[in-house]
Structure 1
Amino acid sequence: MEEEIKAEFLKIGFTLDDEEEILKKCLTFCQNYSLEPSDLVSSWEVYYLNRQLDESVVKDAEMDGFLGHLQNEQVETAVKKEPGLHMYSFKDVEMILDAGDEDTKEVILGTPTDKSEKLHLDVYDSAHKTNGSIYSSGRISKLVTPFGKRSNKFVVKFNIDNLPTTETVNGIHNHENLEDDIIQRIRPHKSCSLVVHRSGPEPGCWFMYDRIEDRFNALENRIRKHAAALVASRLYEEPMDPSVASQRSIFAIGMICCDGEGHLNDKSILLQSSVEHSGGQHVRLELNKLSHFSVFPGQVVGIKGHNPSGHCLIASELVDSVPLSVAADMNLPRAKKQALDEEIQATNLSCAPTEITMVIAAGPFTTTDNLLFEPLTELLAYATKKCPQLLILLGPFIDSEHPQIKKGTVDLSFDEIFQMEVLRRVQDYLEYMGPDARVVTIPSVRDANHDFVFPQPAFDLDSLNNIHQITSLKNPGIFEADEVKIGCCTVDILKHLSGEEMSRHSMDGTPSDRLSRLASHILSQRSFYPLYPPAEGVPLDLSLAPEALHISSVPDLLILPSDIKYFVKVLSLGGTSEGEEQMKKCVCINPGRLAKGEGGGTFVELKYQGSSDKINASIVGI
């Protein structure tokens, strides 16, 4: 079994540090919890993503934390079988010990503190909380260095440099006395032009009027658009009803659904076709004959296969993306479509590479122990030194999950905190940098001072003095900066897909990059949020503007802030066996969170020069 465990780790691209010791412990885990090697390694992959580990190496030091993760999984499985049952792990023991320490320090009797609530608040914005559960040992809060006690401020944690003449920054930037130094006032060498694609709800819109009819029409339109695009590519035949018994191979298009409330598995995958082709009927989908696949609820796919009994469609091929050569929006008028094609062709013929520099950061922008917004202050000081043309700030700004916001212990309103602590700092930054600096803000559904709905209207910033330098986007939003198309979405779709995806890797030994695969789903489905039903806590309202979630063409940059591990990856889309498709590349960026608990997080500094092959991207720890 140890050899099987080792083979499973190698299959997904992990190496073992202390091989003998790790395999011995993994064997014990399998025996104690009745796990197969494949199940154990799948659990490790989830643990690896949630803990945001730096490299694909299984280390002996992580085995205790991994044990806690396995215990939590066993608890969840047991609780589902017996709702009234509670199983204890060493996380509960630590909570009891923490409670004892607090009791010795407490002098004045007061309202008892809920220690479990305290534990959740300590790690609320980290990757260890997924769908209400914490996949860690509960000790992570003690390992976080408080923000004010950091020894190193700006550390480059990851770097991609494809620019031959670019000076790469390695190691640590010495900005310890940044505020005390005399900073030379260097402004951006040129201002970047911004063009916002206006699609989505407007500020002040009415929401919470979502009807079943609206949801049905939105899902039906997605299936019909995919079907029209696949047929227009001339690579696939006209779709047929997959629920009708047929001995010959057919081609069907539909949406992946789950037969029940749990996660997808081999026995619960359904395919829901359109009303036009099957009256919206479901049919069970069998994928056993496919060597590799990746599916999730809400994904629209094309299936080649046969249905001999009329009850189960046996797939021989799965098509999960729309060909790039086909116009994504098949409902555009012919004149508008022709103008769009001419615009895209003119852009492709432009030989002058577009160069733009930017700093990208996602909230929370303050630590959990206060509302001083120290990480935001240091981010703006860093931007003052680096002088990017564009500063992109993604919510949450006033985080509804912050302990003080959640408990209501602040004296100011949420709007006042946003104005005084966030916008005032941003305005000071712009005044210092001069008229060429630009800032883009995108709200989050976690913003306490904004509408709790998705898609989400932009912030109303008309009252600001330098409004021409601050551009507020909708969530999700698409804009162009010097002809570089950028898409942004602050809802954590990567984390949600990670919890719902069911996949099988090819057996040729090629490592599977799960983060790239999750990000590719967004572009393949041409939707900022292709998951349906949405994850718990996502206020998806399809009556507002379903076109707001639609991605008409692949952007040059795709910014998807997430609680899972930060990354900058170049995604390649398109390409067919016939060679009729060109490859389209997109740089996908997860800047991480600027603040994590009581400590600092990460942000991204990017220089983009015309294409994804000419970038300099650094993930900087603050």
Structure 2
Amino acid sequence: MEEEIKEEFTKGGFTLDDEEEILQKCLTFCIQYKLSASDIVANWDLYSINRGLDSTVRSSHMGPFLEQLQNEQVDKVKEKASGLHLYSNDVSMILNGDYGETEGTLDTPPDKHTLSLQKSSDSAQRTNSVKLTSAKRLEPVTPFGSRKNKFIVQLTLNEHLDMQTIKAEDDNANFEDEIIRRVQPSKECSLIIDRSQPEPGCRFMYDRIEDKFNFLENCIKKRATAYVSSGRYDEPVDPSVASQESIFAVGMICCEEEGRIKEKGTLLQSSVEHSGGQRVRLDLQKLSQYSIFPGQVVAVEGRNPSGHCVIASKIINYPPLSAATDEEHPSKKQAMDRNLQLREPSLDTPEVSLIVAAGPFTTSDNLLFQPLNDLLAYAQRKQPQLLVLLGPFIDSDHPELKKGIINQTFDELFRIEILGKLQDYVDYMGSTVRVILMPSIRDANHDCAFPQPAFEIHPADFSNQIKSISNPGMFSANRVKVACCTVDILKHLSAEEICRNPQGGSKQRLTNLAKHVLSQQSFVLWSSFYPLYPPSEDVPLDFSLASKALHFSSIPDILILPSDLAHFVKVVGVEDADGEEQVKCICVNPGRLARGEGGGFFVEINYRGDPDSSSASIIRI
């Protein structure tokens, strides 16, 4: 089994510092927690992403890695126990002895909460595979409503660019003075919904095999057209035909068998036009670096001497831009427009201030929506021009909703707790602000389909300053293009991607995952917000709606992708086939506003003209 573990690490692009010791410890973990070789490497992959580690697995990392495995076992124990809804982040802090800033339930009596912690501790100690390593005495987790610090900056982007430093605010802040001193934002936020498909009331889950075929075939054909139109590549050939000469083919990465893609089980499926849709094995051993996932459309240079396997010498993820079509290409035109704005000061520079938060918007122990209240209070003081809220709003995974003990319908809960609070917010802020809502497939009061229509918000009942867009969707605020999608594509790509990094190269997984999303849609006029195929099991992807709703033609200024992975805000440069940076984009994972019984994260962005001149902060509540 040690050989299997070593092979899985190698496939994932990892190198082992102390091979013998690491393999022995991983083997022990596998036996202790009943994990397979692929499971242990997948867990390590997630661990390394959340902690920003490089591709080298060191023996010194095994201790903290073991704690993560222990925490997962504690979560499984808690799921079986009734009445326990501690979030995994809280349990992690308890195990590490760091519970001073941990946030728990709202208005929970201390005795009851202490008893819950003692029960979870006893349950964990009775499990053979879990041992609490902290030598400190367990103390009650600080209730969410009683925490000392409300807003703390966790991460900043371009901090030197006039981004106001946010200090921790205690509960005794004088909000009445804030109301008296409140000044309306100087500029009204212009808002244009670029595209919102599908329309509310559409028929979904009626897709046919023909719809799926056409969707995948168009992705490959449009990508091949982009390569040929550049003038640097010939017409793609059939990769399944034996040839001693070097060939150029365009196709989709496929997996030979069910489960996670493996290096030796990688296939390339070309279009019906070039190969009749046949698949051929893809040999990646000669490549010094690559990063692929199922559903990714790429160009491959290599040889197929036998007719059964293409020996790849190069994988091209980014089509080059044709000099003849530079002015017509939407992404190139976008870059030219930005440069023109920088050269001509007389032109208005696109500027917008916005706050972005993703659900859940209430803690797992109640439906009081205290995190949402705190977010709106913060927005009232900071006065952004735009507030972007991404679902789930009425989370179908919430324990109270699963029990079925609430005395309201889901629609009533949404209207009162979400739309009602937002109406009060816009009434307070005035006519210059806008609010954008995007649903999630986890919203209990909305259609469970992807792509997903927007919420039906009637202006007669609520202000027209509150808008809803489809999931995914795009809009322009003060001429700043923003694209959003609430499906956790980053997490799904992380689970399916395999890569190999050059020796000594840095491993920036989160940046690479964001680049995957951009590269699969930046230079192609027909590409997808969700490039993974087949989709994750929990994504109800409807191919009859996908062709009109999942595609966009230009790189946005801000790309918002909420995920359960570590929160981040990064400037990502999209490259062409020569590795030259063409257009930059601010990619954001705002995290979750509520994490179990504790508070989570949101993002504040001040966009000024281009990503390099903009600033952003990730804030924890």
Q: TM-score range by the shorter chain?
A: 0.7 to 0.9
- In structure 1, distance between residues paired with 2:551 and 2:584: 19
Q: What SS does the corresponding residue of 2:611 show, helix, strand or coil?
A: coil
- Counterpart CA distance in 2 for 1:619 and 1:70 is 27
Per the normalisation by structure 2, the TM-score is 0.81
Q: How far 1:422 moved relative to its partner?
A: 0.5
Could you tell me how far 1:427 is from its partner in structure 2?
Answer: 0.6
Shift in Å, 1:517: 0.3
Q: Which residue of 2 aligns with 1:156?
A: 153
Q: Is the 8 A contact 1:200 1:545 kept in 2?
A: no
Provide, for residues 244-303 of structure 1, a one-character-per-residue CA deviation record: whole Å limited to 9, x for no partner. 000000000000010111111122101000000000001000111110000000000100
Aligned partner of 2:96 in structure 1 is none
- Displacement after TM superposition at 1:188 (Å): 1.1
Residue pairs, 1:144-293, within 5 angstroms: 145-161=142-158, 164=161, 166-169=162-165, 171-174=167-170, 176-177=172-173, 179=175, 181-183=177-179, 184-293=181-290
- The answer as to 2:412 corresponding to 1:416 is yes
Shift in Å at residue 178 of structure 1? 5.2
Distance change in 2, residues 1:591/1:60 (3 Å): farther
Give a deviation string over 1:517-561, Cα, whole Å, max 9, x none: 001001101121000000011010010241321131111110000
Residue 530 in structure 1 maps to residue 517 in structure 2:
no
Distance 1:365 1:321, change over 3 A: same
C-alpha displacement at 1:456, in angstroms? 0.6
Partners of 2:404 and 2:471 lie apart in 1 by 26
Q: Contact (CA 8 Å) 1:12, 1:511: kept in 2 or not? A: no
Q: Which of 400, 408, 430 is the aligned partner of 2:396?
A: 400
Give yes or no for contact 1:153–1:621 (8 Å, CA) kept in 2.
yes
- Shift in Å at residue 355 of structure 1? 1.9
TM-score, structure 1 normalization? 0.80
Q: Cα deviation per residue 1:294-321 (whole Å; 9 max; x = unaligned)? A: 0000000100001010110110000112
Letter in 2 for 1:448: A
For 1:38 and 1:545, the matched residues in 2 are separated by 32
Where does structure 1 lack aligned partners over 5 or more consecutive residues?
Answer: 17-21, 73-88, 99-113, 129-135
Q: 1:103 — aligned with what?
A: none
Residue 372 in structure 1 maps to residue 371 in structure 2: no
Does the CA contact (< 8 Å) of 2:319 and 2:576 recur in 1? no
Amino acid at match of 1:416: E
SS at match of 1:393: strand
User: Counterparts in 2 of 1:561-572, with a 5 A limit?
Assistant: 561-572=562-573
SS in 1 for 2:543: coil
Could you report, residue by residue, the CA deviation over 1:480-530 in whole angstroms, capped at 9, with x for unpaired residues? 1111111100000000000000100111x1211000000100110112100
1:308 aligns with 2:309: no
In the alignment, what sits opposite 2:110?
A: none
Q: 1:430 aligns with which of 402, 426, 436?
A: 426
Amino acid at match of 2:270: S
Describe the shift of the 1:142–1:590 C-alpha distance in structure 2 as closer, same or farther (beyond 3 A): farther
Aligned twin of 1:109? none
What residue in structure 2 maps to residue 47 of structure 1? 47
The residue matched to 2:610 in structure 1 has which SS?
coil
Q: 1:70 to 1:504 in 2, by over 3 A?
A: farther
| Secondary structure in 2 matching 1:372 | coil
Paired letter, 2:389: L
Q: For the residues of structure 1 that align with 2:185 and 2:74, how far apart are their CA atoms?
A: 50
For 1:597 and 1:290, how far apart are their aligned partners in 2? Answer: 43
Alpha-carbon spacing, 1:25–1:314, altered in 2? closer, same or farther (3 Å): closer
Give the match for residue 615 of structure 1. 614
Residue identity opposite 1:47 in structure 2: Y
Q: 1:556 to 1:596 in 2, by over 3 A?
A: same
**1:78-111 deviation line (CA, Å, top 9, x unaligned):** xxxxxxxxxxx9649x93xx7xxxxxxxxxxxxx
Matches of 1:503 and 1:343, distance apart in 2: 31
Segments of 5+ residues of structure 2 without an aligned counterpart are 93-128, 522-527
- Could you report, residue by residue, the CA deviation over 1:169-227 in whole angstroms, capped at 9, with x for unpaired residues? 16524464354655222211111211111252100111110111100100000000000
Q: Name the Cα RMSD after superposition.
A: 3.9
Q: Contact between 1:492 and 1:560, CA under 8 Å: does it hold in 2?
A: yes
Letter in 1 for 2:390: L
User: 2:236–2:249: 8 Å Cα contact kept in structure 1?
Assistant: yes
Alignment of 1:303-382 (within 5 A): 303-323=300-320, 348-350=339-341, 351=344, 352-382=348-378
**Alpha-carbon separation, structure 2, partners of 1:201 and 1:410:** 31
Which of 508, 513, 520 does residue 513 from structure 1 map onto? 508
Amino acid aligned to 2:491? K
Superposed CA offset, 1:319-353 (max 9, x none): 1123356999x9xxx9xx69998788556523342
Q: Name the CA shift for 1:190/1:13 in 2 (closer, same or farther; >3 Å).
A: farther
Question: Which residue does the alignment assign to 1:556?
Answer: 557
CA distance change for structure 1 residues 293 and 596 in 2, over 3 Å: closer, same or farther?
same
Matched residue, 2:586: 587
Kindly tell me: are residues 143 and 611 of structure 1, through their superposed partners in 2, closer, same or farther at Cα, counting changes over 3 Å? farther
Cα displacement (A) at 1:143: 9.3
CA drift of 1:47 comes to 2.0
Structure 1 Cα separation of the partners of residues 369 and 247 of structure 2: 58
Residue 106 of structure 2 corresponds to none
CA distance in 1, matches of 2:90, 2:450: 22
Match of 2:476 among 457, 480, 492: 480
Output the CA distance in 2 between the equivalents of 1:123 and 1:62.
24
Tell me the distance in 2 between the aligned counterparts of 1:127 and 1:458.
Answer: 36
Deviates more, 1:456-465 or 1:353-362: 456-465
Q: 1:12 to 1:222 in 2, by over 3 A?
A: closer
